Structure 1
Amino acid sequence: MTLQTKVIVSMNALLTGVQDLASAEVPLSLRQALVLADGAGAGMADRIFHDRRTIAASGSDSLDLAGGLSDPLGVSLSFARLKVLLVRAAAANVNQVLVGGAASNAFAAPFGDATDKIKIPPGGTLLLAAGQADATGYAVTASTADLLLIGNGGAGSSVTYDIVLIGASA
């Protein structure tokens, strides 16, 4: 089994305005590609997990990155490091989706502190990606720093989110 990954981020914006004597346009075009070959070194990944999940009102998911998940083919997987973390909140959500902040054994590598949380509003997306030359990415440590908490930011209604984790086994 091999994994080939390409993550492409593209952004185009155009700011226009009218000045006293002329019109002004300031274009922005940004494109970033991350290509990962199969493996566990720099520019490589060999593990993937993806799912659409629903969390009850005021609830949370605790995803064990070091042995608690299965890949799309049903094989148990364990990440030693993450290279890509994508969480997309459903547009129909009423509440925010919270990423991070596990009370114990928190996967805190991309956060400043184990209690830090990123709030994703309805329809929003969080994307963290390690650089092409980075062999480490976001380190996962089994039994001490391997729980990724995804939470429902409110009461009264459930939230749905999509998650993609791409990383390496060593």
Structure 2
Amino acid sequence: MALSGTLLAVSAFAELTQALDLGTGRVPQPLNRKMSLLSGTGAGRADRVFSDRRTLAASATEDLDLAGSLLDAFGQTITFARIKGLIVAAAAGNTNNVVIGNATSNAWAALLGATGTAIIRPGAFLALGTGEADAIGYAVTAGTGDQLKVANSAAGTPVTYDVHIIGVSA
């Protein structure tokens, strides 16, 4: 199965201004990054994608098994060997945070280490992309380093989040 049109882009723009005697000083500060991937498994390539909107009950957690239990849009099991892109977006209507990382067993430690976490506040998102020249990405080790934990940070209300994972099978 071929994967096409794989693009991850992030853009930020800020401008600092300050009043001066004879005008206003401006310093634009843009940051733009993009990653376009062709179909395949080497540098600048990807052949697997998982995308889903998920809901966790109050105080609930789940482990996303990056090597063997996620299903693609056609119902085929996905086994990632390396991750090239990851986006996790918390719904704006959430009351609690979405927390990723720190799986209790077989943690996918390539990104946050075995015990690290990232907190994604309501309406916020986390985006990670490797460079187009990167052939390695973030390694997934089936059976020992393939669990991405996602947690609802508190009791009381569920959280909804979108997840998009781009990677390679070999």
Shift of 1:38: 0.4
Question: How many Å separate the matches in 1 of 2:93 and 2:17?
Answer: 32
Shift of 1:30: 2.2
Shift of 1:20: 4.2
| Cα-to-partner distance string for 1:78-110 (whole Å, 9 max, x where unaligned) | 000000010000000111100101011000101
Q: Show the counterpart of 2:69.
A: 68
| Cα-to-partner distance string for 1:59-94 (whole Å, 9 max, x where unaligned) | 111111100111011111100000001000000011
Matched residue SS, 2:75: coil
Q: Show the counterpart of 1:33.
A: 34
Task: Say if 2:117 is the partner of 1:120.
Answer: no
Q: Show the counterpart of 2:93.
A: 92
Shift of 1:115: 1.1
Question: How many Å separate the matches in 2 of 1:66 and 1:124?
Answer: 27
Question: How many Å separate the matches in 2 of 1:50 and 1:132?
Answer: 21
Q: What percentage of residue pairs aligned between the two structures are identical? A: 51
Q: Show the counterpart of 1:59.
A: 60
AA aligned to 1:165 is I
AA aligned to 2:144 is T
Matched residue SS, 1:15: strand
**What are the ranges of 5 or more consecutive residues in structure 2 without an aligned counterpart?**
none
Q: Show the counterpart of 1:144.
A: 144
* Coordinate RMSD, CA, aligned: 1.0
AA aligned to 2:105 is S
**What are the ranges of 5 or more consecutive residues in structure 1 without an aligned counterpart?**
none
List 4+ stretches of structure 1 deviating above 3 A: 19-22
Q: Show the counterpart of 1:6.
A: 7
Q: Show the counterpart of 1:44.
A: 45
Shift of 1:10: 1.6
Question: How many Å separate the matches in 2 of 1:19 and 1:152?
Answer: 48
- Counting matched residue pairs gives 169
Which moves more between the two structures, 27-36 or 60-69?
27-36
Q: Show the counterpart of 1:106.
A: 107
In the superposition, the TM-score normalised over structure 1's length comes to 0.96
In the superposition, the TM-score normalised over structure 2's length comes to 0.96
